[in-house]
Chain A
Amino acid sequence: MLFSSIMFIFYFLPITLGVYYLIPKSHLMARNAWLLVASLVFYSWGEPVYLFLMIFSAAFNYYMAGEIDREKTEGGSGKKNLVFALVINLMILGFFKYFGFLMDTINAVTGLSIGYTALPLPVGISFYTFQALSYIFDVYRDKVKVQKNPMMVALYLALFPQLIAGPIVNYKDIEEQLTERSFSFDSFGSGAIRFCIGMGKKVILANNLGALNAYVAAIAPDELTVLTAWIGIICYTLQIYFDFSGYSDMAIGLGRMFGFRFKENFNYPYTAVSITDFWRRWHISLSSWFRDYVYIPLGGNRVPVRRHIMNLLIVWSLTGLWHGASWNFVLWGVYFGVILIIEKYLIGGYIEKMPSWAQHLYTMLIVTISWVFFSITDIGEAVRYLGIMFGIGSSGFMDSSTLYLLRTGLVLIAMGVLGSTKRPVKEHERISRGFRWHETVWALLVLLISVSYLVYGSYNPFLYFRF
């Protein structure tokens, strides 16, 4: 089920919240049980088969964490069990997500044409597998106590707010909240506001910008002009940010409405002053996962330079691959890895001395170009598109399609650019000071417009089906 649907907002959410809050606060376990049931319905909606995979994953990781813990209390290291759990989790992920990719690559390299049937990707599998791994690792490293109640492990993995598009919640961050969390109208309300704003980011901004990008994507490369290509990728740049951060906002907001506190996942990434800074602000839960469970175990930066560069490249190829089973995502990841290495070892100091407008321009140029490789699966086509952006093989600077895009898109793009900065929030706070109703009116207005788009059934893509 998607958050951005009438079904979710006006059927699933009222029922889930209603029953949840009818159960008294003192019966937290009953609330948890209900939340688990609701989460499983949410997950299975439309594709109930993969529910079994989810249940298996929960049971398996519950059991393996117990085994690791048992081994450790008996004096062992728990390493064998850790490796086994790791292998099984990654095999499941690999089978569903990377099998087709692997076969394609084998066929391409060997020139064979081995037939295979790739299964449809279970939604959210990359997110919940990473959550499961963080739990297993943390039990192994004594960062958390083993969870004795299988329902809690299942709830941790399946909790519907963050289930399909993150943030990736680490077990250590939520362990306590599973057994003790506070409920208040204040946090419910702040969650509701957050949810409405996130919905608006997704439905009003991301979807409309996405429609513009789709218009550009449908133009044959021979007929693309320089300006059209730029508008297309700028729209995509804004679309993916508002889509993804909108989903995170909704997840965080929904979490609060049920008494959970999730960490922030985005921190105005398009205001970053370098790529290093950008990755501290973009999909924070993913980059910190890779930092904690891959980069640091590999030795992090406390290793010789050569090894460090190697580590960074490994982490960033994996980060790329996590986003989708296709070479363009690997390229996208490595592209960022290389730039981060360059910033770290070569130009970091120089960037710091640049005027702030140049820092922003530099960062956004690198980021925008990265989205070309992210949004166009075929690397050859991506290169061609990039060429057109810089006048190579373009059909002129602009044409009637460009005019059309400018006319339909200018306000949206302006809204998007402005919305990527802290400015609107600050202005909003300034205006609303001393006016109690302001936030509510604003949030409900955004919800009203979003719902009107959803009712009509406008363009509403789901970008994370590859994640």
Chain B
Amino acid sequence: MAINIKNRLLNIFKGLGSAVRGNANELAAVSFAAVLVAFFALNLFAPDKSFSEKENRMLQEFPDVSVHDYLNGRFEKSFEDYANDQFILRDKFIRVKSSFDAAIGGIKSNGVWKGRGGYLIEDSNVPSGSFIKDNSEAIGEFIEANPGIRARFLLAPNAVSIMKKKLPVGANPADQNIYMDSFFEAVKKVGCEPIDVRESFEDAKKDRQLFYYTDHHWTSAGAELAYQAIKESFGLEEEYSFKQYPVKNDFLGTMSSKSGFSGGRCDEITLPVREDDGRLNSVIFYEESKKKTTEFYNLDKLEEKDAYQVFGGTNHSIYTIKTPVKGNRRLLLIKDSYANSVLPYLMQHYTEIVVVDPRYYYDNIQDVIDVEGIKDVLFLYNANTFFEDSSLKMMLEE
């Protein structure tokens, strides 16, 4: 049998050899077979990833095989997701798709609208059926277990609702305000004070740029507005005013790479500096790598593609910021990346901030509160990411 297969392969290779010199069809045969073999092998041997930075979601890993799952179709479904999610050069392929979309005149590509005035605006995500109920209940239970804390939830609106006027004609995104309203109502009921910045954003958007043109985050100006609301809600007394210090003016953010739309306007990234030039010598401690640093800003990230990472770097599961601020006030910040650009402001008021990203944090959050003696808890998310994210609920229920 072994010899047989060897002969067979030799025969096939001989055929391939003559086909390469053959006519158009024979060439196509060899090329197509080569593509299939190459991708099959690459997919087989390339290591799998569990998380996509670009798409900000967990990827399907190889599903467990069982007769039961096969018979009810679950294995097949997972396997198809696996084949898609772990496909070799997946990000490159998505780029091809978005470029093609853009080339054939689309004004929406990979969930991003090509808006007016250079805005690339991400479509809104809608929470699934029981999402609002499940999450507010989890928050309620968390508050019940920690009666001494003051819990606040800042759910940030996205450009899709604040910059609605910049959407292209005919764009019909779902109205995120409806879902934000009902979420705020639900968390209020369980004892968590909502922080709603929509009104102040609506007022300020005429004279300040609150969202990046090409990135899904808010700008430092937007973050400052959010900070004002947080300050008021927690009753932080010290008053500081800030000026914006530009550090990059050719930023093309994730909406640009996600959509493939070219000709977007470049963004400016600014860092807030206190008017009184007060500088705090903070120390940041990263738990997972046990590293200490005094630099919150990762200025080297400005040279990289995702320059928003200048605010506190890439996604860390948990880190602690210790500042020389007096008064021994401690904050637990449970957040997504929108909070990163708010942190420079908050650092002026807290002696210690523990920053947790539930997407990467798998331990018990209760321990953090007990050990650090925390009184203030702030949840800070943007509506689009939050409505699609189950990690907060999972962490709180841990």
Contacts and interface: CB of A to CB of B under 8 A. Distances in A.
A353 interface: no
A189 interface: yes
Interface string A127-150: 000000000000000000000000
Interface in B1-51: 4-5, 8-9, 11-12, 15-16, 18-19, 22-33, 35-37, 39-40, 43
A11 B41 CA distance: 10
Interface in A46-69: 46-49
Q: Main secondary structure on chain A at its contact with chain B?
A: helix
A13 B104 CA distance: 30
Contact of B170 (A189, A400, A415, A456): A400
Contacts of A49: 71
Interface in A178-221: 185-190, 192-193, 195-196, 204, 208, 215
Contacts of B25: 185-190, 193, 439
Interface stretch (B90-98, B183-191, B363-371): B90-98
Interface stretch (A81-89, A300-308, A344-352, A430-438): A430-438
Contacts of A10: 36, 39-40, 43, 83, 87
A12 to B, nearest CB: 10
B148 interface: no
A104 to B, nearest CB: 27
Contacts of B169: 400, 403-404, 407
Interface string A12-32: 011101100110100000000
Interface string B75-86: 011011001100
B107 interface: yes
A204 B95 CA distance: 15
B70 interface: yes
Interface in A257-288: none
B29 A451 contact: no
A196 B32 contact: yes
A47 B259 CA distance: 35
Contacts of B12: 21-22
A400 B104 CA distance: 20
Q: Main secondary structure on chain B at its contact with chain A?
A: helix
Contacts of B168: 404, 407
Contacts of B117: none
B330 interface: no
Given A410-B105, A455-B94, A440 B110 contact: no
A228 to B, nearest CB: 10
B142 to A, nearest CB: 34
B39 to A, nearest CB: 5
A437 B27 contact: yes
B171 interface: yes
Interface string A431-458: 0100011111001100111011111111
A451 to B, nearest CB: 6
Interface string B328-353: 00000000000000000000000000
A452 B93 contact: yes
Contacts of A5: 80, 83
B83 A7 contact: yes
A439 B71 contact: no
A449 B96 contact: yes
Nearest to A24: B8
A187 B27 CA distance: 11
A452 B96 contact: yes
Contacts of B104: 208, 411-412, 415
Contact of A449 (B4, B8, B100): B100
A420 interface: no
Interface in B92-123: 93-97, 100, 104-108, 110
Interface of B: 4-5, 8-9, 11-12, 15-16, 18-19, 22-33, 35-37, 39-40, 43, 70-71, 73, 76-77, 79-80, 83-84, 87, 90, 93-97, 100, 104-108, 110, 168-172
Given A11-B40, A21-B12, 12 more contacts: A11-B43, A14-B37, A48-B73, A185-B29, A204-B100, A401-B170, A404-B168, A436-B27, A439-B24, A439-B25, A452-B93, A457-B84
> Which 9 residue pairs across A and B have the least CB separation, nearest first?
A404-B170, A189-B29, A189-B25, A192-B32, A189-B28, A452-B97, A452-B96, A185-B19, A452-B93
7 contacts: A189-B28, A193-B32, A401-B170, A402-B170, A407-B169, A408-B108, A444-B31
